């Protein structure tokens, strides 16, 4: 077992005024299964890249360990190669038998190694990369969000595989994965960095207790400061009034006083002024003890939503539905039946490629055929919806979409986001000031507002789409994998919003905790 020691680590990107990491200190052991937790934009991926020596930094990182990183880079040309060929570049020192051993442990068919990488599903690509990652020896592994875009079955495979391993840092916003896999957590708080024994749930329980204690202590100090300020102000007024009586008096009204009384009054005033100074010192001490108590408190703002109420009970209904893309040899599925009633929150579940997103596209296609594709209606869409509609689907059976239905759609793809936030708001007829206010509630830093969207992190891009959808009144909210890359705090924030405002929704989302809390109905696609 070796140690990884990080001391006074400070880093900012060239040309940026933002300091991503500042004076960071922590020590970890190389055999831990460490989960990294933090808000979007807090520097989790940056920290992994610093550990692997990708950037120059101030401070020190001392260890005898060799680092390797998931995911491996794959370009367009690499997609034509086999995983076996790519593994030679990803892990040059790994023997073929070591990779095959890991392939067997993760439950893959070794034949996948010899197929073009482009023919593998998202889940298969992830599993192959993880198998190659763990094929080395004496390495500490850096794993960055391995379950994004994976279906539930693939997530479970990854979860079980990682649970059998040790010696890694795992960056993930999947609470179930962090609970199952990790025995320690590294938390990038708002101002500090901490390491704790345990998993996400144990850390969250500790955080709730410490936050409650910090808030109580803060209130206690505020009350004490208020009392001391009142006492100091009262004593100061007495001293000032007393000082004013030193010179001059009326012998008839103040017959018990003489000129000799002046020294007594001066001494009394001096004592009062000393008491005022003492109060001031006590106030300063209380303020000093109060400082920093709330520095790591995650104040999650309550979001708002403006769902529209549709006049009919049933918004979408499918009976004996079959879908097939033009030119494809077979249907995605056969004879599917479901209904979306007003107030339902319907989740589509199933393996990658089973047709979940295609159901959404079929609904959009039906709406487009009914006159959706107009400038006014385009503005209500959040995401590259019309590019999806153009990929025509052959719809057999019955898919009834109520006329006049207004939807707010979030595409799982964020690659189309570019340009300024103001341009985005103008394109979608959104109030720029309210849009920025929602982003702030989603913990978007003000410094990000001046950047173009193509420079945002993936989590920040998702928050742009979510904020726009929240600002778009609709009868039906269709969200396709909205939580990819979204931090844990924002996930819980969105859960609370949906449970409070109860919009009608159709969702594809593989976060099991989120689905358990939100879904009123789950439809299995492909069964």
DSSP secondary structure string for all residues of 61-119: EE-S-EEEEESPP--TTGGGSBHHHHHHHH-TT--HHHHHHHHHHHT--GGGGGSBGGG
**The pLDDT of residue 374 is above 50:** no
The tens digit of pLDDT for each residue in 458-479 reads: 889 999 999 999 999 999 999 9
Angle at 144 between CA 70 and CA 96, to 5 degrees: 20
Find where tokens 């690509």 sit: 125
| Orientation angle between helical segments 122-133 and 152-163, nearest 10 degrees | 10
Give the global pTM.
0.77
The pLDDT assigned to 18 comes to 76
Both tokens of residue 357?
Answer: 């997103």
**The pLDDT of residue 288 is above 90:** no
Q: How would you class 383 by CB atoms within 10 Å of its CB: exposed for 0-12, middle for 13-18, buried for 19 or more? A: buried
Collapsed DSSP state (helix, strand, coil) of residue 370: helix
The pLDDT assigned to 279 comes to 67
**The pLDDT of residue 495 is above 60:** yes
Of 114-128, 158-172, 241-255, 435-449, highest mean pLDDT = 158-172
Class of domain 3-206: alpha beta
Collapsed DSSP state (helix, strand, coil) of residue 348: strand
Mean of pLDDT values over 111-116: 92
User: Where does the pLDDT of residue 376 fall: very low under 50, low under 70, confident under 90, or very high at 90 and above?
Assistant: very low
452 Cβ contact list (under 8 Å, min separation 6): 418, 419, 420
Both tokens of residue 79?
Answer: 């997609």
Say how far apart CA 514 and CA 51 lie, in whole Å. 32
The pLDDT assigned to 328 comes to 74
**The pLDDT of residue 235 is above 50:** yes
Q: How many other CB atoms are found less than 10 A from the CB of residue 69?
A: 19
Q: Which of 255-269, 314-328, 447-461, 481-495 has the lowest mean pLDDT?
A: 255-269
Of the two residues 302 and 371, the one the predictor is more confident about is: 302
Mean of pLDDT values over 290-314: 79
Of the two residues 214 and 31, the one the predictor is more confident about is: 31
The pLDDT assigned to 153 comes to 87
The tens digit of pLDDT for each residue in 155-194 reads: 999 999 999 999 999 999 999 999 999 999 999 998 889 9
The pLDDT assigned to 274 comes to 75
**Cβ distance 200 to 170 under 8 Å?**
no
**The pLDDT of residue 72 is above 50:** yes
Of the two residues 271 and 309, the one the predictor is more confident about is: 309
The pLDDT assigned to 378 comes to 44
Rg of the Cα trace of the chain?
Answer: 31
Q: Which of 197-211, 262-276, 482-496 has the lowest mean pLDDT?
A: 262-276
**The pLDDT of residue 254 is above 80:** no
Say how far apart CA 155 and CA 174 lie, in whole Å. 10
CA-based max dimension of the chain: 116
Q: How far is CA 233 from the centre of its chain?
A: 47
Both tokens of residue 306?
Answer: 């403006």
**Cβ distance 307 to 282 under 8 Å?**
no
Of the two residues 371 and 111, the one the predictor is more confident about is: 111
The partner residues of 142 in beta bridges, in order of sequence, read 69, 169
The pLDDT assigned to 5 comes to 95
The pLDDT assigned to 367 comes to 85
The tens digit of pLDDT for each residue in 192-218 reads: 899 999 999 999 999 989 888 878 877
The pLDDT assigned to 375 comes to 41
Please give the span between the terminal C-alpha atoms of the chain, in angstroms, as a whole number.
47
Class of domain 314-524: alpha beta
For 91-99, the CB contacts below 8 A with 24+ separation are 91/132, 91/133, 91/135, 91/136, 93/136, 94/132, 94/135, 94/136, 95/135, 98/135, 98/136, 99/131, 99/132, 99/135
198 Cβ contact list (under 8 Å, min separation 6): 182, 183, 184, 185, 206
Dihedrals phi, psi of 360, to nearest 5 degrees: -60, -45
Q: Which of 37-41, 289-293, 352-356 has the lowest mean pLDDT?
A: 289-293
The tens digit of pLDDT for each residue in 318-334 reads: 999 999 887 777 888 88
User: Where does the pLDDT of residue 289 fall: very low under 50, low under 70, confident under 90, or very high at 90 and above?
Assistant: low
- Locate the DSSP E strands across 120-214: 139-144, 168-171, 184-188, 193-197
């Amino acid at each position: 077992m070796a140690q990884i020691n990080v001391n006074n680590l400070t880093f900012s990107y060239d040309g940026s005024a933002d300091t991503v990491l500042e004076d960071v200190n922590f020590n970890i052991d190389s055999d831990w299964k460490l989960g990294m937790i933090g808000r979007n934009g807090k520097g989790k991926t940056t920290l992994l890249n610093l550990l692997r020596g990708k950037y120059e930094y101030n401070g020190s990182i001392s260890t005898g360990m060799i680092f390797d990183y998931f995911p491996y880079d794959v370009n367009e040309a690499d997609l034509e190669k086999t995983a076996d060929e790519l593994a030679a570049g990803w892990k040059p020192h790994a023997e073929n038998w070591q990779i095959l051993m890991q392939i067997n442990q993760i439950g893959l068919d070794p034949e996948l190694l010899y197929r073009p990488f482009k023919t593998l599903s998202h889940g298969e690509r992830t599993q192959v990369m993880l198998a190659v990652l763990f094929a080395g020896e004496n390495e500490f592994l850096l794993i960055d969000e391995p379950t994004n875009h994976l279906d539930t079955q693939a997530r479970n495979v990854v979860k079980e595989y990682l649970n059998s391993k040790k010696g890694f840092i795992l960056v993930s916003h999947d609470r179930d994965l962090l609970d199952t896999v990790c025995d320690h957590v590294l938390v990038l708080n708002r101002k500090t960095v901490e390491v704790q024994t345990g998993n996400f749930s144990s850390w969250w329980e500790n955080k709730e207790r410490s936050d409650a204690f910090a808030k109580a202590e803060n209130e206690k100090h505020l009350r004490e400061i208020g009392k001391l300020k009142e006492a100091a102000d009262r004593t100061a007024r007495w001293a000032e009034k007393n000082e004013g009586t030193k010179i001059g008096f009326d012998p008839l009204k103040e017959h018990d006083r003489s000129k000799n009384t002046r020294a007594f009054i001066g001494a009394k005033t001096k004592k009062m002024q000393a008491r005022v100074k003492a109060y001031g010192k006590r106030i300063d001490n209380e303020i000093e003890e109060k400082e920093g108590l709330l520095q790591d408190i995650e104040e999650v703002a309550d979001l708002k939503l403006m769902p529209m109420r549709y006049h009919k009970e049933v918004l979408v209904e499918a009976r004996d539905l079959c879908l097939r893309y033009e030119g494809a040899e077979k249907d995605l599925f056969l004879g599917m039946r479901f209904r979306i009633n007003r107030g339902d929150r319907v989740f589509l579940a199933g393996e990658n490629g089973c047709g979940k997103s295609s159901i959404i596209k079929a609904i959009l296609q039906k709406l487009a055929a009914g006159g959706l594709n107009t400038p006014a209606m385009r503005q209500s869409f959040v995401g590259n919806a019309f590019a999806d509609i153009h990929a025509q689907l052959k719809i057999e059976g019955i898919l009834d979409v109520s006329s006049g239905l207004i939807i707010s759609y979030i595409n799982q793809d964020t690659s189309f986001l570019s340009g300024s936030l103001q341009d985005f708001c103008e394109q979608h007829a959104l109030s720029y000031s309210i849009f920025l206010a929602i982003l702030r509630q989603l913990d978007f830093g003000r410094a990000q507002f001046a950047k173009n969207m193509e420079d945002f992190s993936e989590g920040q891009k998702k928050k742009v789409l979510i904020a726009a959808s929240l600002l778009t009144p609709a009868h039906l909210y269709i969200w396709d994998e909205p939580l990819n890359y979204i931090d844990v705090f924002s996930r819980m924030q969105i859960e609370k919003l949906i449970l409070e405002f109860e919009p009608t929704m159709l969702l594809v989302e593989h976060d099991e905790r989120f689905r358990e809390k939100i879904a009123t109905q789950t439809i299995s696609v492909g069964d």
